[in-house]
Amino acid sequence: MDITEQQFERMFKVGNVSQYSELARLIGETQSTLGSWKKRGIPDGKLYKAAEILNCRSDWLRKGEGPMRDQPPDVGHSYTAESSLNAEEQTLLNNYRVADPAIKKAAQRILEDSAIESRRNVGGGSDLQAEKSA
């Protein structure tokens, strides 16, 4: 496997995707651009951008060296917030990171409304409910 294939494999892994079309959407590129990269290699600037979007270290993405992500400050546990996410949650987070600001705002409203409704159905209250009615 050549270096470019290894870089793509690492992007698939950290992005929690398996198809080039999913990866392209996730990192804000076209599928044809990714096809070009497969032939010519991934430009360094694009690798750095992908690392930022995918929330991983650029050295890890470029060369497979070191940890995938920077280690969080020691806060009494050995996991990052994202390590506790399941595949569906990680995909949702990755998609949110690359979404247009208007889409992000709409998604937040939908999720807040849903959370409020869920809490009403189980009889619980929340700070989110207080914020929503303020």
8 A C-beta contact, residue 95 and residue 27: no
The pLDDT score that the predictor gives to residue 74 is 47
pTM of the model: 0.56
The pLDDT score that the predictor gives to residue 112 is 81
8 A C-beta contact, residue 68 and residue 57: yes
Locate tokens 């060296």: which residue?
Answer: 65
Run of H or E residues at 54: none
The pLDDT score that the predictor gives to residue 13 is 93
Query: Mind listing the pLDDT tens digit for each residue in 46-96?
Result: 999 999 999 899 999 999 988 888 765 444 444 455 457 777 777 788 778
The pLDDT score that the predictor gives to residue 38 is 95
Half-sphere exposure of 2 toward its Cβ, with a 13 Å CA cutoff? 7
